[in-house]
């Protein structure tokens, strides 16, 4: 979705050096903050939760492409809160 909005050159000018699909396999990148720009779907929620619980990034900024279901957000908050991971969400 990001590639339909920005060209890679524009992302580099914004100091965004890595952009990957949310469902791609990822390794931890310490000292890095992640920005998620997602459609608020069940599948994306699951990928994002897994990434946060696996400590892939120092902090995570989450933006949704459109209005998000409150039930999904509440479940996300509960899942992360139960693992004491809410500190990493901005």
Q: Is residue 85 part of a domain?
A: yes
pLDDT at 1 over 60: no
Residue 39: helix, strand or coil by DSSP? coil
User: Quick one: pLDDT at residue 43?
Assistant: 92
pLDDT digits (tens, 9 = 90+) for 20-78: 777 778 888 888 888 888 889 999 989 988 888 888 888 888 888 899 889 988 888 88
Closest CA to 45 of 3, 82, 78: 78
Sorted by sequence, the CB contacts under 8 Å of residue 43 that are 6+ apart come out as: 23
| pLDDT, average across residues 4-10 | 71
> What Cα–Cα distance (Å) separates residue 18 from each residue in 23, 29, 53, 83?
15, 11, 20, 27
How far is 8 from 6, CA to CA, in rounded Å? 6
User: Quick one: pLDDT at residue 18?
Assistant: 67
Could you tell me the CATH number of the domain that includes residue 81?
Answer: 3.40.50.2060
Q: Is residue 90 part of a domain?
A: yes
Q: Is residue 20 part of a domain?
A: no
Residue 51's domain spans which residues?
A: 33-90
Domain count, the chain: 1
């Amino acid at each position: 979705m990001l590639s339909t909005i920005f060209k890679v050159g524009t992302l580099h000018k914004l100091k965004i050096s890595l952009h990957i699909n949310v469902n791609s396999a990822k390794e931890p990148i310490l000292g890095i903050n992640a920005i998620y720009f997602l459609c608020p779907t069940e599948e994306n929620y699951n990928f994002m939760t897994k990434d946060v619980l696996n400590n892939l990034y120092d902090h995570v900024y989450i933006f949704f492409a459109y209005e998000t279901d409150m039930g999904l957000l509440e479940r996300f908050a509960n899942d992360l809160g139960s693992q004491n991971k809410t500190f990493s969400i901005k």
